[in-house]
Copies of this chain bind each other. A is one copy, B any other.
């Protein structure tokens, strides 16, 4: 069994075009060509562990991913989140590799999903990208949007001024023109493609904040508890897309809006259907569109397989 450490994984990712691979994975998922059991959850005293696993029919590998968040780790000088992926042969079940990516592959495949959602739904002439949050996804999402849109203009909001300033510095160095908003509403006012990336459990954006023509990538909320968007934002949206309808029934922004009765399940489109051209997404420049990303095991299979191929060379 191959053990692949994070440094080697990061190196393997350089130059890989993951977008078409993960797009295919979403299409396989929505076409019923994948087996994705419910997310496993282990809730401990000091943290929580999620297990995402699944298989795509015809694929060489099935993948079991373990991701953990231990919130007291910061005080010990350890990262709060961690993760690894186990890669097995689909035909014999033999373990092929342990990817000790420390959660990096999850970060990257999530950013790629955001890019896929935005490419499918946002207006092509996006003028400014708005970012709620200042962490890993706040950076990676913007970096993965950059090849798809001409704009390099970013407006950011975060709770912690020090982290906001660090974000501005880092992203400016990476070639973006970064402005800072004083409120989440200020981000929505200044941007037409918004990415929400926080672990908030209280809505940060409300319907009154969102301008016509906006696309929102709702990335931060992936559990039953987290929520960045008020339910009325989803009610306002003309197009609501789930990465997985099944997962979004119980997780993420869609679950909250469904529970609040703000939207019905019938309005929800699944990303893979949209990508396959089976349903329409945005049909006018004035529409508000929304992509809710909760993270699906097929993304993990796609990125793990890409790493396996790249490291086998």
Contacts and interface: CB of A to CB of B under 8 A. Distances in A.
Nearest to A89: B70
A55 B84 contact: no
A53 interface: yes
A179 interface: no
B66 A94 contact: no
Given A37-B40, A37-B41, A88-B68, A78 B51 contact: no
- Which residue, of A55, A78, A92, has the highest number of chain B Cβ atoms within 10 A? A92
How many copies of this chain does the complex contain? Answer: 2
Given A53-B51, A64-B66, A42 B37 contact: yes
Contacts of A258: none
A59 to B, nearest CB: 10
A45 interface: yes
A45 B57 contact: yes
Interface string A31-68: 00001010011111111010101110100001010101
Interface in A62-105: 62, 64, 66, 68-70, 72-73, 76, 78, 82, 84, 86, 88, 90-95, 98, 100
A62 B53 CA distance: 18
A267 interface: no
A44 B55 CA distance: 7
A78 B92 contact: yes
A3 interface: yes
A312 interface: no
Given A40-B40, A51-B53, A82-B94, A1 B46 contact: no
Given A49-B62, A82-B95, 20 more contacts: A1-B3, A3-B3, A3-B98, A35-B43, A40-B40, A40-B53, A44-B55, A44-B62, A45-B90, A46-B90, A49-B53, A49-B64, A51-B53, A68-B93, A70-B91, A70-B93, A82-B93, A86-B86, A95-B100, A98-B98
